[in-house]
Structure 1
């Protein structure tokens, strides 16, 4: 696994990425789903045949092996053709999800539909960089095709099986599918600035991974530049250019997000969290936390408990 994968994994673990599959179905000709705005990120993948995504008044034809992600839950329609009529999407999805099996193949598309989500209170800057629409083409005939086929086959098997835990296995495979689609999109688009660009830079990504792994310890520019294999000046300049933040600012952001996660998901004391995110005193930690989130750690915890 590359350093960029490790850094991406760090972020996805922190925000508790989750995904689920609603169904894999053979759609009857003329099908259409009108999907409202969602707090989750819809995921649609054409396994066989073709479909049309209509979003923001534009139609996008999807062929077998094409997938779309809508990270901000934009309202959209999925259709058999541009002329197909649409039914209210939530009710139709529910009905399709409750049907046993995939149904007979009748000439319409075979679709995989689901969603992905993460803890939005942990607003890591990576998620601000994702576009409202991610399109990944022809996953079954590209690098990594074997992985996509295996994941889809496993999801299909668990969706149609009756073994205990089948739903949990299918949902874990949905998370693998999301990450695989995101990596495929990144490989095709090669962002030049931001978190994703930093992850793709082999030298900067090593420093990023070090910050993620050692945020409880003193981390200075000398250590980070050593991890990157660069001089201090070259590293600091390059990191700021690509990330858009100085190394110290990103480290502070990572520490604050880790602190928020621990405050809301653990019983650790403020002092324990202070140590766990690398601050020398409770007072310094509380000041930094309030600057970032506009409230003290104690108040955030009380609000969460309420």
Structure 2
């Protein structure tokens, strides 16, 4: 009798592990009909804003780019929280007109606004390799059927407001975020950075090992074995793709998790040191200070 196949989902992929560890949250907070003269900018919130044109049309104004027309089901995401303006006119509004009351006349445009946020603060931006603005046009092949389906379902939930729709639209926004990242990778827009490494079949295995078990006594050789590569080839590819060496990345990830534990638990520094993979509390304190520029206790005194 042949051995039964493994039917349990007990080996999560690298992107799923990272998003879970960083506690990604998606929230929709505006579903509004804008008419007349109007202009909005939701940048500068230290989150990842997005806008969805539910119906009608609008214009995207972004520094260094020509105004871009947006139509029904177009989605705009600002991965690094860049300032921007969505308005009714191709002509860029003055600063005084941005976020001012609308004039309530003329054509109506439905705009859905929301944000993505990592609730476990990170030491380095995982989205830094993405463009400052990502526009997924509903009619473009790149947008894909999956994103169009999710957008349609979100708008349907907002229209009918059935019980549970608040949670449903946030979960759909979460799924749209994942699809947006997939599309950026598949389009070839990303050839470096942490996200690109996560999608690499070899580097992803090593990153998964770090993210899932930062307390393990990882060495360059052990991580290279996870990636099924020679030590030198692994170190070179990792550094070129991610931007830092594997061991420096390991330290940064450990300190990120240590800071999170310091802020959210009552564990002692000694206990956190051990859970961060350090046999010596003194070595942990030194690594923490060198990485974050302050001693571990400073987090709890703020």
Q: TM-score, normalised by structure 1?
A: 0.80
Kept in 1: contact 2:76–2:133 (CA 8 A): yes
Task: Provide the residue aligned with 1:171 in structure 2.
Answer: 170
The Cα of 1:134 is off from its aligned counterpart by: 2.0
Task: Provide the residue aligned with 2:69 in structure 1.
Answer: 61
The structure-2 alpha-carbon separation of the partners of 1:121 and 1:209, relative to structure 1 and needing over 3 Å to count, comes to: closer
**Is 1:135 aligned to residue 145 of structure 2?**
no
The Cα of 1:255 is off from its aligned counterpart by: 0.7
| Long gaps (5+) in structure 2 | 1-11
If each structure's helix is expressed as a fraction of its own residues, which one has the higher value? 1
Q: d(CA) in 2 for partners of 1:217 and 1:209?
A: 12
Q: d(CA) in 2 for partners of 1:74 and 1:258?
A: 27
Task: Provide the residue aligned with 2:244 in structure 1.
Answer: 245
**Number of aligned residues:** 285
Q: Alignment partner of 1:89: what SS?
A: coil
Q: Alignment partner of 1:288: what SS?
A: helix
Deviation readout 1:206-260 (Å, 9 max, x if unpaired): 1111111121111122322222121222212222222222211111111111111
Q: Alignment partner of 2:187: what SS?
A: helix
Task: Provide the residue aligned with 1:284 in structure 2.
Answer: 283
What is the root-mean-square deviation of aligned Cα atoms in Å?
3.0
The Cα of 1:75 is off from its aligned counterpart by: 3.0
Task: Provide the residue aligned with 1:9 in structure 2.
Answer: 16
Kept in 2: contact 1:49–1:63 (CA 8 A): yes
The Cα of 1:7 is off from its aligned counterpart by: 2.6
Task: Provide the residue aligned with 1:77 in structure 2.
Answer: 85
Q: d(CA) in 1 for partners of 2:205 and 2:211?
A: 10
Task: Provide the residue aligned with 1:103 in structure 2.
Answer: none
Task: Provide the residue aligned with 1:111 in structure 2.
Answer: 111
Kept in 2: contact 1:19–1:116 (CA 8 A): yes
The Cα of 1:195 is off from its aligned counterpart by: 1.3
Q: TM-score, normalised by structure 2?
A: 0.81
Task: Provide the residue aligned with 1:234 in structure 2.
Answer: 233
Q: d(CA) in 2 for partners of 1:68 and 1:291?
A: 38
Task: Provide the residue aligned with 1:180 in structure 2.
Answer: 179
The Cα of 1:130 is off from its aligned counterpart by: 3.6
Alignment of 1:156-305 (within 5 A): 156-303=155-302
The Cα of 1:158 is off from its aligned counterpart by: 3.5
Q: Alignment partner of 2:232: what SS?
A: helix
Q: d(CA) in 1 for partners of 2:19 and 2:262?
A: 18
Q: d(CA) in 1 for partners of 2:93 and 2:240?
A: 48
The Cα of 1:88 is off from its aligned counterpart by: 4.5
Q: d(CA) in 2 for partners of 1:157 and 1:64?
A: 14
Q: d(CA) in 1 for partners of 2:27 and 2:230?
A: 45
